[in-house]
Every structure is written in structure tokens, then in C-alpha cells.
Amino acid sequence: MALDVGHFAAEPGVISAAGRPEFEYNLDLARDVKAELEKLRMAVRMIGERGDYAVLHHRTRDAVGADLFLSVHHDSVKEELLPQADRFSGFSLFVSRLNPEAEKSLACASAIGARLRAAGFTPSRYHADPVTGAPRPFADETNGVHWYDNLAVGRTATMPSVLLEGGVIVNREEERRMRDPEVRRRIAGAVAEGVRACL
């Protein structure tokens, strides 16, 4: 499978509450997910770990042949909600109905969300709330999966594709959790189990 580290050095994504760029969180978590997948004897192709992928569709192009594309990100909230960012926490998963294997994408996202919940993590949910987030309707509400049809890495992938927001790093407490290697290992273990279940 292909494991994509979201963003790149020149545009590193969200800046966390403590001022650390999202790319560094994505890299740490993706490395842990890779290690957990390898424990399950799954072959992993890393994409973007050197921070040099500026063109989104090059990521999915270079994943051709993989049985799943999983993009690792960390979340923020809309600018006007940043002063209340500590209210928002949890993971989210996104899949595109424009992916040629949308059904399988959803199955994998649901499996990952279910394992994360079983490990004690909670879906953020706010992306489906028109008041607080961009309105991304639920594809699987229980497991925190949303439809995001125009998601580039979902739409341009030729294989099933899932985007994970591991946690909300503009929330100070959640950012501390995401920096904790033990928390990260538990997230990574749950993600790897979900991937194995759906593949």
C-alpha cells in the first residue's frame, strides 16, 4: 500500500497551537503507521516523506500499483473559530465518490475509524456541521467518515483512497497528545489494523 505524508516543506500545512508545522506531525505519524503495517507483514511505499511533493496528482501517480492510498494529515478549524480551537478535537476520515473504487475506499475508511474508536479515540464530527465546519456530509457517521468528492488525492487515485486527519493540532491539549509517542503508536496500531481488515 502507499502511505502519503500530507503537504511538503515549502507549504507545510496547518501551523499548530505551539507553532509546529503540520508536515512534521504527518511525517511522525506516517512513520509510526508504516512500522505498524510492517509488523503485520504489509509492504509500504512512502510518498512525500522527503517533503518534496509539491504537485498533488504526482502523489497518486507514484502510488500506481498499490492496493490502497492512505494520506496522513492533521486538522485545523476555520479561521474565525481559531480562538475557540480548544473545543475541537478528534480524528476525521475522508473519501471521494469520484474515486473509481469509492466503495472500497469507504470500506477502508470505516475499518480504520472503527479500530480508532475501539482504541479509545473519538471522531471530531465538526466537518459535517454546517455551522462549525465545511459541510462534508457523513459517509459513515459512527466511524467519522465524510464524503469529500473533490479531494485531490481521492479523485486522482486509481486505487481506493482515504485521507486521515489524525487529530486537531490547533487545540493545545490535542497537540500535546499528538506529540506523545505512546499516543501516536496507539493511533498507528489502530490504523494498521483497519487497513489490514479492509484489504
Taking the CB of residue 130, how many other CB atoms lie within 10 A of it?
Answer: 9
- What DSSP letter does each residue of 172-183 carry, written as one string? HHHHHHHH-HHH
Residues forming the site for Zn ion (CB under 5 A): 6, 13, 73
CB of 161 to Zn ion, least distance (A): 15
CB of 33 to Zn ion, least distance (A): 15
Residue 16 phi/psi, 5° resolution? -70, 170
Of 13 and 21, which CB lies nearer to Zn ion in the complex structure?
A: 13
Q: How far apart are CA 111 and CA 133, in angstroms?
A: 24
Which residues on neighbouring strands pair with residue 15, listed in sequence order?
A: 21
Of 93 and 107, which CB lies nearer to Zn ion in the complex structure?
A: 93
Of 73 and 127, which CB lies nearer to Zn ion in the complex structure?
A: 73
CB of 73 to Zn ion, least distance (A): 3
CB of 164 to Zn ion, least distance (A): 10
Does residue 58 sit in helix, strand or coil?
A: helix
Which single residue brings its beta carbon nearest to Zn ion? 73
Of 6 and 160, which CB lies nearer to Zn ion in the complex structure?
A: 6
Position 9, amino acid: A
